[in-house]
Structure 1
Amino acid sequence: MNIIDTLLRPDLRGREPYGAPQLDVAVRLNTNENSYPLPPAVVASIEKAVSAVAPHLNRYPDRDAVRLRADIADYLGYGLTPEAVWAANGSNEILQQLSQAFAGPGRVALGFTPAYSMHPIITTAVGGAWIEGNRDRRFDLTVESAVEQVLRHRPDIVFLCSPNNPTGTALTPEVVTAVVDAAPGLVVVDEAYAEFARAGTTSALDLLVGRPRLVVTRTMSKAFGLAGARVGYLAADPAVVEALRLVRLPYHLSTVTQVVARAALEHAPLLLATVDAIREQRDRLVRELTGLGLDVAPSDANFVLFGGLSDSSGVWRSLVDRGVLIRDVGIPGWLRVTAGTPEETGEFLDALRIILNGES
Structure 2
Amino acid sequence: MVTDQLERLSRLPIRDNLRGLRPYGAPQIDVPILLNVNENTHGVPGDVRRAIVEAVQDAVAGLNRYPDREFTLLREHLAGYLGHGLTADNIWAANGSNEVLQHILLAFGGPGRTALGFPPTYSMYPLLAGSTGTSYLAGTRADNFDLDAGATAEQVAETGANIVFLCSPNNPTGTALSLDVVAAAYEAGEAARAIIIVDEAYAEFSHTGTPSALELLPGRERLIVSRTMSKAFALAGARVGYLAAAPEISDALRLVRLPYHLSAITQATAIAALTHSAKLLANVDEIKRQRDRIVSALTGLGLPVAPSDSNFVLFGGLEDPRAVWQGLLDAGVLIRDVGIPGHLRVTAGTEEETRIFLETLESLIRPSVS
Same structural fold, with TM-score higher than 0.5 when normalized by the shorter chain: yes
CA RMSD of aligned residues (A): 1.0
Q: Measure, in 1, the Cα distance between the counterparts of 2:132 and 2:359.
A: 44
Q: CA deviation at 1:148?
A: 1.1
Give 3-state SS (helix, strand or coil) of 1:309's partner: coil
**2:222 is equivalent to residue 213 of structure 1:** yes
CA deviation map 1:180-238 (0-9, x unaligned): 00013100000000000001101000110011110000000000000000000000000
Q: TM-score, normalised by structure 2?
A: 0.96
The answer for the alignment partner of 2:28 in structure 1 is: 22
State how 1:30-49 maps to structure 2 within 5 Å.
30-49=36-55
The answer for the alignment partner of 1:341 in structure 2 is: 350
Give 3-state SS (helix, strand or coil) of 2:308's partner: coil
The answer for the alignment partner of 2:94 in structure 1 is: 88
Q: Measure, in 1, the Cα distance between the counterparts of 2:186 and 2:354.
A: 38
CA deviation map 1:313-355 (0-9, x unaligned): 1111111011000000000100000001000000100110111
Equivalent of 1:322 in 331, 335, 347: 331
Q: Measure, in 2, the Cα distance between the counterparts of 1:141 and 1:5.
A: 42
Q: Measure, in 1, the Cα distance between the counterparts of 2:303 and 2:341.
A: 14
Are the structure 2 counterparts of residues 3 and 93 from structure 1 closer, same or farther at C-alpha, using a change threshold of 3 Å?
closer
Aligned AA (2:340): I
Q: Measure, in 1, the Cα distance between the counterparts of 2:366 and 2:344.
A: 17
**2:277 is equivalent to residue 275 of structure 1:** no
**2:297 is equivalent to residue 291 of structure 1:** no
Equivalent of 1:153 in 155, 159, 174: 159
Q: Measure, in 1, the Cα distance between the counterparts of 2:119 and 2:281.
A: 29
Q: CA deviation at 1:357?
A: 2.8
Q: Measure, in 2, the Cα distance between the counterparts of 1:163 and 1:198.
A: 10
Q: Measure, in 1, the Cα distance between the counterparts of 2:74 and 2:120.
A: 33
Q: Measure, in 2, the Cα distance between the counterparts of 1:333 and 1:233.
A: 34
Asked whether the 8 Å contact 2:10–2:19 carries over to 1, the reply is no
Q: Measure, in 1, the Cα distance between the counterparts of 2:108 and 2:221.
A: 14
Q: CA deviation at 1:358?
A: 4.7
Q: TM-score, normalised by structure 1?
A: 0.98
Q: Measure, in 2, the Cα distance between the counterparts of 1:235 and 1:248.
A: 16
CA deviation map 1:289-309 (0-9, x unaligned): 000010100000000000010
Aligned AA (2:195): L
Identity %: 58
The answer for the alignment partner of 1:109 in structure 2 is: 115
The answer for the alignment partner of 1:57 in structure 2 is: 63
Consecutive unaligned residues of structure 1, counting only runs of 5 or more, are none
The answer for the alignment partner of 2:140 in structure 1 is: 134
The answer for the alignment partner of 2:130 in structure 1 is: 124
Aligned AA (1:40): G
State how 1:147-296 maps to structure 2 within 5 Å.
147-183=153-189, 184=192, 185-296=194-305
Equivalent of 2:76 in 70, 77, 92: 70
Q: How many residues align?
A: 359
Q: Measure, in 1, the Cα distance between the counterparts of 2:210 and 2:130.
A: 32
Q: Measure, in 1, the Cα distance between the counterparts of 2:282 and 2:157.
A: 42
Consecutive unaligned residues of structure 2, counting only runs of 5 or more, are 1-6
Q: Measure, in 2, the Cα distance between the counterparts of 1:215 and 1:281.
A: 30
Asked whether the 8 Å contact 1:5–1:13 carries over to 2, the reply is no
